Structures are given as C-alpha cells and as structure tokens.
Amino acid sequence: MSSLAQLAISKLRKAGLGDVLHVPGEQTYEATEASLAPYSQKLRPWAIVQPRSTEEVSKAVKALVSTKGLQFAVRSGGHMWADYSNNIKEGVTIDLSLMTKRTYDLETKLVSLQPGSRWKDVYRDLCEEGLLVVGGREPMVGVGGFLIGGGLSFFNSRKGWSCDTIVNYEVVLADGSIVQANKTTNPDLYLALKGGSLNFGIVTRFDMESMESKNIWCGMAVYPKTSNNQIIDAYVDFTNNLADNPDDYVFLYAYRPALEEDYTISINLSDMNGIANPKPLQKFLDIPNPISNKDDFKVKTLYEKLTDYVVPSANYTNWEAITVQVDASVLRRASGEFEVLISKLRRAIPDNNFIARMVTQPILKSWARISASKGGNVLGIENLPADCLNILVGIEVQSLELREKVGRPAVKALLADVKSYAKSIDKDADWLYLNYCTDGQEPFATYGAKNVKLLKTVAAKYDPNRVFQERVPGGFKISKAPLMEKL
C-alpha cells in the first residue's frame, strides 16, 4: 500500500472513523465492492469509509481533503454508468449506503431521506404510512445520485422533476462544514443542487414534499417487433396529449435478451390514480396480438410495481442517451438502427451472449412551467424547441474489452445516426439528461448559458479550492462545461 494510502487511512482512523473504515480483504470491503452493479465500477479503492451520520461525513471529508494529493469518490446507490462516477481506483471511496434514515414530519408534511436508501425501501416504508414522494422508478437506484441529477419519475407531468419537490438540502461542503440550502438559506446553492450533481458538496439529507399514496393501475404488454409501427404511432399520439393527461404514464422498452435471436417491445403502462383501462392509454390496449397476457394489468401500490419491475444489471454495461423532438419518423429510424446494433453485436460476439435495450420516454416543455412555479431548477428544459423524447440505449457484454471495442462504438453509432436524421428534418433537440449520460458526453453544456454561469459561480463560492472539481474526479464536472452565449 502506498504512503499516500496509509496516510489517508491513518487520518480517517484519527478522526474516529475506524469502525466504519474497511480495506481490501475485509468482509465488508469485499461485499461493498461486489454490490456495485456495473462491473466496470469495481475499482478496488485503497479504502472504503461508510459514514453513519452527517457528522461522520464531515469528519471523513476533512480527513481526506487534508491529505494532500489524495483523490476520493462518493457513492450513494452506485448505479450511475459513467466510469469512476461512484468509485475510485487509487483513492478512497465514501460509501453512503449506511445512511438510510427516513422520517416524516407531521407538522410540515415533509419526508426527510438520507442519500443511501434505495427507492424500493423508501416506497415500502412510505406506502405503509399512506405517503409517497416523487422518486425513482427502478427499485435499486440510490436516492442521492438520482435526486442531485434531476430525477425522472412517474409523476413528472403532474409534479415536475423530483428535484422540484425538494424544499431543503443538508450539505457537507469541501471544508467539512455542514450547511442547509433552501429558498431563504444559501438559496443559490439550493437552486444549483436541483440538477447540478456532485459539484458543490455531499448532500446528506433531502427534505421533500410528500403526497398521498394512491394505488395505481399498471402492467406491461409485450409485443413482437412486427407491431413496431402501430406502437410508435400510439406513443407519439399519447405523448402529444400527455400534458393534458398528466396522471397517465408510458414508456417503451425494446429488449433483446442474451442468447436470443430477436427482440420484443414492451409497453409499460400506468395510471397513477388507479383507473383501469383509462382512455388516454386505450390506443396501446387496442394493439392486437400481444405476447404477454393483458389480464396481468392490476391495481398495486407503487412499491409493488417497483418490485415487479427490476432491470437486471450485470456484466460490462454501457448506457447512453440523446434527446429528440416527438416525431414518428425519428422513432422508426431509431428502431431500424436498433436492429443494426443487434446485427453488429451478433457478428462481433460469436456466442450471441449480449443484451441490448432501447428505452423511450417523454421530456415535456410543460415540466419547465411546473419547475418555475416551485422556484426553478438548473436543467434548462425551458430552452427545448418542443416536447421531446429521450432515447436511451444500453448494452451488456461479458468483458471490458468487448464493451470498449464493440458495444460502446455500436451504441454511439446508433445514437449518432438518429441524431443526424433528426437534425436533417429539424427534429433535433440539444439537451442531455445527466443521469443517463456516459463518458464523453457533457450534459451541463446543454443546460443553457444562464444555468452554466450560475453553476460555475456557485461551485466557486462554496468550493473555492475546487475539491469537487479536481479531488473528486468522478461524475460530470461543471468546470468542464463551456460558457456559452446561448444554448
């Protein structure tokens, strides 16, 4: 072990963190590394420290920042795909997975969440109390990274982004100080954290608006790819009317499992008020010849929905997304390129052992108006030219070499082709959702000049020594985003 590693470990022990400090070979260290979903994130840091409280996060930050030349990482759920975004090789990882406290204040009606919880656990506890928050849609995603990246949820069309429902952040800054950020205390930091990711400090508590937990009507219909055109037409029509029907939710999911020859298209449908077969979803329900049984649609809690819908994540993964305007021809182009991607992978991977996915979901301009009514955020979707679609493509392969030489280039080629086609018919949109970005993308550059300037100013004010720009290398850094005259 290097002298720098030994010094950092010694400082963490002197800070009183010895009982939550783990090094290679220890059972907790090995289990924590094994729990990381993307294999490429299993980097084996010099040590992992697992704070149990905000005060222990502060102690850890002070100890690590005072170790000259040391770099560190911060992990909530460890679900982000960009390499080094939640772990580090030559450095120390602050793992927040023990910080899972969830409380409800009867007077303020706020739910307070620590960052280490997974959304399935949050919903389980809240649903038992008849409550909900605007949170994630996949059970194993961590609270922390999801919320500081913005947060796509089942409720965007009604409530805005998940970050729009946060009324206060508790934050450990780079000097170890603990501050609150809300509309009246550190309001600039409060705004920057609503989509600004890990650029200012470590959020140790999110105080969120609560709402009544309603049962939802939901299910997934699976179709052969021959139904593609009818599904796309129904989806475009649904999205064009979604702002007027904010309690219905649909996303499309093209899936090609390992070892299979072809892919299917799943339509994930929900009515968040529990209304069966609602009119806005009828065009999907009328599509004939599903592979699945439509009788499987049921009324459930949101917790039950999440436990039924788990996206497996293993092997070496690459996910990447673009944004385009709502248009049927662009979606058909994407479907055709998805088949090209599968063909490329078949030729390059003789045993056919890979997984390919393409997910399509809406990004509406009306969400910006909801955000503005709650004080705004820094995501910049008010600059979108029209209602849009996020097209997210992912692959899983058996080795890092296959991911880098075959999988990632194939995904990038697909998205580049779709982007080029959309631009050629004036249906492009220059915006990226940070939580879906991967290495080589720069989401902050798409947030708009005003937001980029704000984020840079806030980072310089609250982290003048650039700890979260240089000493925490993972994730997306506002220092790398160019200042622009316009979007």
pLDDT tens by residue, 20-75: 999 999 999 999 999 887 788 899 999 999 999 999 999 999 999 999 999 999 99
pLDDT tens by residue, 386-432: 999 999 999 999 999 999 999 999 999 999 999 999 999 999 999 99
CA distance 166 to 134: 9
Taking the model in full, what pTM does it have?
0.95
Residue 83's φ and ψ, nearest 5 degrees, are -60, 140
Q: Which helix (H) or strand (E) holds 222?
A: strand 216-224
CB-based contacts of 293, cutoff 8 Å, min separation 6? none
CA distance 487 to 452: 10
CB contact at 8 A, 198 and 478? no
Query: Using 50, 70 and 90 to split pLDDT, how confident is the model at 311?
Result: low
Alpha helices in 129-167 (DSSP H): 143-148, 156-159
CA distance 11 to 441: 36
Domains of the chain: 3-95 (3.30.43.10), 102-212+445-466 (3.30.465.10), 216-300+312-431 (3.40.462.20)
CA distance 126 to 135: 11
CB contact at 8 A, 65 and 91? no
- What pLDDT sits at residue 7? 97
- What pLDDT sits at residue 350? 80
pLDDT tens by residue, 76-114: 988 887 888 999 999 999 999 999 999 999 999 999 999
Cα angle value 68/73/77 (rounded, 5°): 160
CB-based contacts of 379, cutoff 8 Å, min separation 6? 150, 161, 163, 194, 195, 371, 447, 451
Looking at every residue in the chain, the average pLDDT score rounds to 94
CA distance 404 to 31: 26
CB contact at 8 A, 104 and 129? yes
- What pLDDT sits at residue 37? 76
CB-based contacts of 404, cutoff 8 Å, min separation 6? none
Asked whether the predicted pLDDT for residue 486 surpasses 90, the reply is no
Query: Using 50, 70 and 90 to split pLDDT, how confident is the model at 487?
Result: very low
pLDDT tens by residue, 454-471: 999 999 999 999 999 999
- What pLDDT sits at residue 312? 58
Asked whether the predicted pLDDT for residue 295 surpasses 70, the reply is no
